[in-house]
Structure 1
Amino acid sequence: MNLKFDLNINQTQKLILTQEMRQSIEILQLTAIELNSLIEKEIMENPVIEFNENAIKEVVPINEEPVKEEVRPEEVPSKEDVRWDEYFQSMESSEYRGQTQSNPDTEEEYGFEKYSSQVQTLNEYLHFQFSLVAQTLSDKEKFVGEYLIDCIDDNGYLIIADNYIRAILEVDEEMIGKLVEIIQGFDPVGVGARDVEECLLIQLHQMGYEDDEVYLDIIKNYLAEFADNQFKRIAQATGLLVEEVYEFKEIIKTLEPKPGRKFSCSEGVSYVIPDGSIEIVEGELVVKINDVCAPRLKINGYYKSLLKTSKKNDETRVYIEKKLDSAAFLIRSIEQRRDTIKKVIQAIAEYQCDFFFEGVENLRPLTLKTIAELVDVHESTVSRAIHGKYIQTPKGTFALKFFFKRGFTQGEEDRSSDVIKRFIKEMIEAEDKKKPLSDQKISEILKAQNLDVARRTVAKYREALMIQPSSKRKEYR
């Protein structure tokens, strides 16, 4: 066996992502909240960075070249070894010599509409009602009652077991039952129940059905069958007519399975900050980029002057130049992110132009590849650019992913999945409730309109619309 060592030269191509390239990709994918958190962190750690409050929003008509109407951030050279003192001297301008001072005479006055009102929670409402009856209770009962109220969740259910209350508070079952009964008599009706069955029974009791044993038996023993519209089975088991069982269901539909819903709906509301907006101005679509989502940054003036006065090999100068390199990369990455998102929004606005003027019926099928070709970037870049981003439009605020839809061919036109969902919803709303349309029937109707949509796809879209299957939509009157 012949073993030997040789030196060979081979030329190969490799794609190597530098640390800066990785960070730039990550910044592009960040949402508005995540980007602002990153900027706040960088400002805390890097003293040379500060917000550029002189920047103005950018307005871009989609059929024109971008108009540079705002004060651009400092153009930071991409060269790694930057002579920062010479760079700052060449970049000196009035717009970066200091922050503009606010004029007290022009400051906006504050009115009552500037402040939000205090919304009463379910817990506060129950404690208020309990305080009205607490004067007739002992101190121990007051304590236990308040503890029980604190164990009621946002839906209005008591989420703690009686045996646990007895053990931890050292009280008897009679006291617990007395206080639970008091709380279950509070508004909203049904609050303090342990489960859906008890919640509905409390509400039926309030409506005067406490003596109707047959109806109460349905709630206790046939609630699952009731939800599945198995009226014939329930009628056979209870001796009622099918029509009577159906009429009882209409009564049940008026009840509230989550009594605390009207209180909890005002809490935990999620708000989104649009990364941009599309407006109709004189018959044309105009794209605006939100500076709150892509804030402008600049270099602090104090460190510019400090860099000029420090010596070449001074420790302070080395530290400042290191921080300036980090700041330059961050500013460059944010601007690149801003430009990419702007181009993607422009391409979407141009491609989905009819949607912004007409509505969802004119939403066209769209893929990442189509936008990538229009913007001249890779599909992965478009995917990162639309991740977690929102746009405000004349038709509402949408996630950018909303505009990317699967398509169906209808003759010479293409229909998006949202249009198909709308067709399905309209057909179900207009159907005969005694003979509701099955998923297969809806698929056949769509095929008759030259839309080849499979039954499983119809079922998926129906479930996305939160519409029950035909067996549960059937009515008996």
Structure 2
Amino acid sequence: MDLKFDLNISQSQKLIMTQEMRQSIEILQLTAIELNSLIENEMLENPVLEHNEDSQKEAAPAHEETVKEEVSQKEDVRWDEYFQSMEVSEYRGQAQSSPDPDEEYGFEKFSSNAQTLSEYLHLQFGLLAQTLSEKERLAGDYLIDCIDDNGYLIVDENYIIDILGVDEELVARVIEIIQGFDPAGVGARNIVECLLIQLRQMGYDDDEVFLDIIRNQLMALAENQFKRIAQATGLSVEEVYEFKEVIKTLEPKPGREFSCFEGVSYVIPDGSIEIVDGELVVKINEAAAPRLRINNYYRSLLKNSQKNDEIRVYLEKKLDGANFLIKSIEQRRDTIKKVIEAIAQYQRNFFFEGVEELRPLTLKAVAEMVEVHESTVSRAIHGKYIQTPKGTFALKFFFKRGYAQGDEDKSSDAIKRFIKEMIGGEDKQKPLSDQKISEMLQDKNLNVARRTVAKYREALMIQPSSKRKEYH
């Protein structure tokens, strides 16, 4: 066996993911809320950073870009010379202006203390407290606390009996009291009981035939099986139809009017598109990506420290990290702005006309317009929102698959709008089938399969034709 060792030198290109590159990618993908949280944490760990609320990018001097290029060369950064050249830059320390009292204490800074469903029910129960026994008050308070945001009682009665040491009759009596509170239907244990409570409060106590429909034939009523119900109850088809119209006025979630005050999700738009003199103007929200700068005190401290001083070594390390974070945030702003500008250019008609003019758009198309990789666009739109004349949308909203319509393309949202309009204008006694809608779309030169129509109809939460049929 012939064994030998060879030493060969070869040249190859390889992409090494540095820690700085990884951090830059992560910052690009962060949402506005996550970015602000990251900035706050960095400011706690890095004392040289502070918010730069006074300066505006547009007001920066022309030579600022040259300064940034010098700073970007991390090796051998001479911070004392850098600070001298930054005397008029947006990152130089500036005296903080006194806050405007109107801005600090404006009406929009305050939020209302809205009454919750639980508080409203406890208030009503408190008005009856003097007429109830101690055990009834205890059971009532506990039961109200077991009512969810939709207004339903979500605890088993036997559990209440065991944990409070009360009898079944007392619990049933207190539940009946709560079910008489406003809003109508509150305290029910299921949808049937919720509707029955509301019907009784509307005066249907003696109409057992109607109450029986709710108890035993609610699904048939929901599916518009009027003839079947009429045969089973002895009512006419017209009476059953009219009864369903009454049911449609009831509230299946009595606590809904209170739920809007709790658990609200907030988003911070990363930018906005405005119409100015017939043109679309893109702006980046300063609150979504706040600007940072180097603190004045630490800048002067670095100037006065000795070359090998421990303070200087520490500050230079912190300044390197601060500089890279500032650059990463600025790069994030620029990338997001370019992506939004590309979307505004491509979806121009949407912002003037509406969703029917929304065109199909892919990540690849925007990547080519912005001259970046598709993965960069994907990270740039992740969790980002934009405020427009048509409302606030996630950037992902503008990326749609589509269908050819002659020389133009229509997005899936436009197809859904067509389907909704067709169903909205249909003859309720002869509702349109999915196949018929597909044929009508083909008449519009849109080749949409029946299965696709069914999928879009379900996404719109519209029942099939067999359940939309009405009888008169």
Amino acid at match of 1:136: T
Per the TM alignment, residue 261 of structure 1 is displaced from its structure 2 partner at its CA by 0.6
Q: Deviations over 1:315-357 (max 9, x none)?
A: 2222111111111111111011001011111111111222222
**In the alignment, what sits opposite 1:161?**
156
Q: Deviations over 1:363-397 (max 9, x none)?
A: 22211111111111111111111111111112221
Per the TM alignment, residue 441 of structure 1 is displaced from its structure 2 partner at its CA by 0.7
**In the alignment, what sits opposite 1:282?**
277
Pairwise mapping of residues 16-415 of structure 1 onto structure 2 (< 5 A)? 16-56=16-56, 68-69=58-59, 75=68, 76-93=71-88, 96-102=92-98, 110=105, 115-415=110-410
Check 1:345–1:109 CA distance in 2 against 1; reply closer, same or farther (3 A cut): closer
**In the alignment, what sits opposite 1:64?**
none
Check 1:207–1:314 CA distance in 2 against 1; reply closer, same or farther (3 A cut): same
Residue ranges of structure 2 left out of the alignment (5+ in a row): none
The answer to whether the 8 A contact 2:74-2:320 is kept is no
Per the TM alignment, residue 94 of structure 1 is displaced from its structure 2 partner at its CA by 7.9
**Pick from 449, 452, 462: which aligns with 2:447?**
452
SS in 1 for 2:387: strand
Distance 2:385 2:89 in 1: 35
SS in 2 for 1:371: helix
Distance 2:392 2:238 in 1: 45
Amino acid at match of 1:133: L
Amino acid at match of 2:79: W
Worse-superposed segment, 5-14 or 423-432: 5-14
Distance 1:371 1:413 in 2: 18
Per the TM alignment, residue 206 of structure 1 is displaced from its structure 2 partner at its CA by 1.2
Per the TM alignment, residue 431 of structure 1 is displaced from its structure 2 partner at its CA by 0.3
Q: Report percent identity of matched pairs.
A: 76
TM-score, normalised on structure 2?
Answer: 0.93
SS in 2 for 1:15: coil
SS in 2 for 1:319: helix
Distance 1:393 1:375 in 2: 21
Distance 2:463 2:94 in 1: 63
Distance 2:104 2:446 in 1: 58
Distance 1:100 1:38 in 2: 23
Check 1:103–1:440 CA distance in 2 against 1; reply closer, same or farther (3 A cut): closer
The answer to whether the 8 A contact 1:365-1:415 is kept is yes
Per the TM alignment, residue 239 of structure 1 is displaced from its structure 2 partner at its CA by 4.1
Per the TM alignment, residue 466 of structure 1 is displaced from its structure 2 partner at its CA by 2.0
Per the TM alignment, residue 204 of structure 1 is displaced from its structure 2 partner at its CA by 1.5
Distance 1:271 1:193 in 2: 31
The answer to whether the 8 A contact 1:436-1:474 is kept is yes
**In the alignment, what sits opposite 2:459?**
464
The answer to whether the 8 A contact 2:93-2:294 is kept is no
TM-score, normalised on structure 1?
Answer: 0.92
Distance 2:259 2:161 in 1: 29
Distance 2:391 2:404 in 1: 27
How many residue pairs match? The answer is 466
Distance 1:293 1:158 in 2: 41
The answer to whether the 8 A contact 1:80-1:325 is kept is no
The answer to whether the 8 A contact 1:391-1:399 is kept is yes
SS in 2 for 1:50: strand
RMSD: 2.1
Per the TM alignment, residue 271 of structure 1 is displaced from its structure 2 partner at its CA by 2.3
